[in-house]
Amino acid sequence: MSNHHSDRAVVLGGSVAGMLAAAALAQRYGSVTVVERDVLPPTSRTSEHRRGVPQERHVHGLLPQGRQIVEELLPGFTERVLTAGGHQGDVLGDTRWYLNGLPLRQAHTGLAALSASRPLIEGSIRDLALALPNVTLLDGHDVVGVRADSGVTGARVTSLHGGGSRVLPAGLVVDATGRGSRAPHWLADLGLPGPAEEAVRIDLAYTSRLFDVPDELFDGDIVVVTARFPGQHRSSVMQRLEGGRALVTLAGVHGERAPADLAGFTAYAESLPVSATADVVRAATPAGDAVSFRYPTYVRRRYEQLATVPDGLLVLGDAACAFNPVYGQGMSVAAMCAGALRTSVEPAAFFAAQAALLDAPWTLAVRADVEGPSEPVRRLQLAAVHDAELAEAFIRVTALVDPPSALSAPWIAQRLSAPSPAAA
Ligand SMILES: Cc1cc2nc3c(=O)[nH]c(=O)nc-3n(C[C@H](O)[C@H](O)[C@H](O)COP(=O)(O)OP(=O)(O)OC[C@H]3O[C@@H](n4cnc5c(N)ncnc54)[C@H](O)[C@@H]3O)c2cc1C
C-alpha cells in the first residue's frame, strides 16, 4: 500500500455484504468507512422499507453456513435476531422441504438456520458492525466513482442532501453496491478490460404477502419450501417471522407470475403440487398488500480471470455474483466471501479465494436451472423422502456445508442401488 491513507478501508454499499466486509476489514484496518446511498433506518423499525434493497420484502432464508460466518464476524448476531422475535431451527428437522412434490424425511442435523425478516437480519448485522469502534457509516451518499493513480486510492462520493462531492482517500476500496455495481465501468475508465460475465436467464417473478399466523399453522416448522421440479414452473417458500407473522413468497419462472390480489394469490398457491402453502394462505390473516419483484437474469462476474486488477479495489457480494434467489444463497455466500477478507486483501489472492467459494453454489444453481437435477440426484431426492441419512446428505450440500461432490460418496451410491431405499 503506497498512499498515506493506507490504514483506512472504504466499503461501498451498506447492505449485508458491505457491513460484513466492514466487520472483516475492521480486524485489519485502523478505520473502515461504509458509504451508503440510502439513509439507513434504525433496526427497531423493521417495517420501514428502503429503496436500495427492494428484495427485502421477499422471503430471505439464512443458511447455516452463512449464519455461522456472520456469527464469527459479529458475535451476538444470532442472539440479537432471536431476542427481536426471529426463529431458529434445524435446517432439516424444523424446515419442511417438498421436492418433486414429496416431503424430505425430517431429521435433526445439528445445523441451525434462522428465519426472520430481511430487514431484521440486515439491521442486526448493521447494528453490530457499526458498534465496532473503528467502523463508521456515511449514509445518504452516492458513490460516483473511484480515484486512481497507480492503483485505486479512494472513492468519489456525492452527498444526496447537499454538500457536494468529495474523495474519501483509502488504502482499500471494496465495492459491495449489489447487482447494479459500476466497477466494470470504473475499470474501463482506467483503460482496463472488465470481467467476463456469465448470465443465466430465468425470467423469475416473486409475489410475496405477509400474514398474521397462529403458531400451530406451521406445525412447529420455521420454513416450508415447495420447490419447482422438472416440468413445473411454480414454487413457493413460506417463512415464520418476528411478531407472529409469516411471509409467503410465490415464485414463477419463464412467464409464470403469481397475481398480487388475494384471490389470484390463493388460486396460485392452490395450483402448487402440495397443499401446504394454500393451507396457510387460506387459514392466516393477510397483513397488507402483496408486492412483486422481477428477476430476469442472474450474473457472475469473473474478476479472478482478469490479467490486471488495480491494487486497492475489490468487489464482493451481489456486485461480484448475484444468484437465483430461490436457492437462498446470496447472503450466506456474501458472508463466506467477506470472511475471506480476513485472510487476504491483495486483489489476485482475494478474487481467487472468492472464486473458489462461489464455484459450488454457482454450479448448484446453474445445474438445477439449466439442466435440471441429474438422474442420480433425482433418485437421491426421491429416496430421501424415506431415508433420513440421504435427506441430511442432500441438505448439507444445499445448505453449503458440504461440497456437491459429497453426493458422489460411495455409501450414497450403494444406498441408491439397493433394491428399495432403507427406511430410516
Ligand atoms: C427477490 C430476492 C430474494 C432473495 N432471497 C434471498 C434469500 O432467501 N437468501 C439469501 O441469502 N439471499 C437472498 N437474496 C439475495 C440477497 O438479497 C443478497 O445476496 C444480499 O443482500 C447481499 O447483497 P449485497 O449486500 O451484495 O447487495 P444489496 O443487498 O443489493 O445491497 C447493495 C447496497 O448498496 C447500496 N448502493 C447501491 N449503489 C450505490 C451507490 N452508487 N452509492 C452508495 N450506495 C449504493 C444500496 O442502497 C444497497 O444498500 C435475494 C435476492 C432477491 C433479489
- What tens digit of pLDDT does each residue of 195-236 get? 999 999 999 999 999 999 998 899 999 999 999 988 889 999
When pLDDT is averaged across residues 14-41 and rounded to a whole number, the result is 96
Q: How confident is the model at residue 159 (pLDDT cuts 50, 70, 90)?
A: very high
- Identify whether residues 179 and 209 lie together within a single domain: no
3-state SS class at 20: helix
CATH label of the domain that carries residue 222:
3.30.9.40
Q: Is residue 1 part of a domain?
A: no
pLDDT value for 158: 97
User: Distance, CA 331 to ligand 1 centroid (Å)?
Assistant: 8
What is the average pLDDT score of the chain? 94
Residues 242 and 279 in one domain: yes
Task: Report the share of the chain in percent with pLDDT over 90.
Answer: 88
pLDDT at 2 exceeding the cut of 70:
no
Domain boundary among 240, 272, 295: 295
Q: Say whether both 279 and 343 belong to one domain.
A: no
Q: Take residue 11 and report the three cell numbers written for it.
A: 466499503
Atom of ligand 1 nearest to the CA of 16: 25
**Sheet of 8-12, strand order:** 135-139, 31-36, 8-12, 172-175, 313-315
Residue 329 belongs to domain with CATH number: 3.50.50.60
Assigned domain for 79 exists? no
Ligand 1: residue whose CA is nearest its atom 52: 55
Does 180 share its domain with 228?
no
Whether residue 424 has pLDDT greater than 50: no
Residue 13 has pLDDT above 60, yes or no: yes
Q: Find the helix packing angle between 347-366 and 330-340, rounded to 10°.
A: 160
Contact 310, 43 (CB under 8 A): no
| Within-domain flag for 421 | no
Same domain, 39 and 133: yes
From the CA of 110, how far away is ligand 1's center (Å)?
28
Count Cβ neighbours within 10 Å for each residue of 23-41 and write b for 16 or more, e otherwise.
bbbbebbebbbbbbbbebb
Give the SS3 label for residue 381: helix
Give SS3 for 106.
Answer: coil
Task: Please give the model's pTM, rounded to 2 decimal places.
Answer: 0.96
Kindly state whether residue 69 falls inside one of the protein's structural domains. Answer: no
Same-domain check for residues 277 and 322: no
With cut-offs at 50, 70 and 90, classify the pLDDT of residue 43. Answer: low
Residues 145 and 180 in one domain: yes
Instruction: Give residue 287 CA to ligand 1 midpoint distance, Å.
Output: 24
Whether the CB of 314 sits within 6 Å of ligand 1: no
**How far from 233 is each of 87, 252, 322, CA to CA, in Å?**
29, 5, 21
Are 109 and 122 found together in one domain?
Answer: no
Domain assignment present for residue 419? The answer is: no
- Indicate the top mutation candidate among 11, 15, 175, 341 to test ligand 1's pocket, ranked by most ligand atoms within 8 A of CB: 15
**Tens digit of pLDDT for each residue in 239-280?**
999 999 999 999 999 889 999 999 999 999 999 999 999 999
Question: Does 122 share its domain with 108?
Answer: no
In terms of residue numbers, what domain contains 98? 87-114+199-295
Ligand 1 midpoint to CA 53 (Å): 6
DSSP string, 148-181: ESSSEEEEEEEEBTBS-EEEEE-SEEEE--GGG-
- What is the pLDDT confidence band of residue 106, given thresholds at 50, 70 and 90? very high
Q: Whose CA is nearest to atom 37 of ligand 1?
A: 177
Name the domain boundary from 333, 352, 368.
368
The answer as to whether 310 is a domain residue is yes
- Report the number of distinct structural domains present in the chain: 2
pLDDT (0 to 100) of residue 371: 85
| Beta carbon of 123 within 6 Å of any ligand 1 atom | no
Q: Is 155 in the pocket of ligand 1 (CB under 6 A)?
A: no
Ligand 1 centre from 116 Cα, in Å?
16
Domain boundary among 327, 342, 368: 368
- Tell me the C-alpha distance between 136 and 33, whole Å: 5
Tens-place pLDDT, residues 116-129 = 999 999 999 999 99
Q: Per-residue pLDDT for 353 more than 80?
A: yes
pLDDT digits (tens, 9 = 90+) for 305-324: 999 889 999 999 999 999 99
Within-domain flag for 63: no
Mean pLDDT for 149-175 is 94
Give pLDDT, residue 49: 82
Give the C-alpha separation, 112 to 108, whole Å.
Answer: 10
What are the φ and ψ backbone dihedral angles of 229, each rounded to 5 degrees?
Answer: -135, 170
CA of 318 to the centre of ligand 1 (A): 6
- The pLDDT assigned to 149 comes to 87
37 Cβ partners below 8 Å, 6+ apart? 51, 52, 139, 140, 141, 142, 143, 160
* Claim to verify: residue 153 and residue 267 sit in the same structural domain: no
> How confident is the model over 375-396, as a mean pLDDT?
96
Evaluate whether residue 412 is within a structural domain: no
Single-letter amino acid, residue 280: V
DSSP state for residue 255 in the 8-state scheme: T
Mark whether 229 and 191 lie in a shared domain.
no
Residue 58 has pLDDT above 60, yes or no: yes
pLDDT at 4: 63
Question: Do 147 and 252 fall into the same domain?
Answer: no
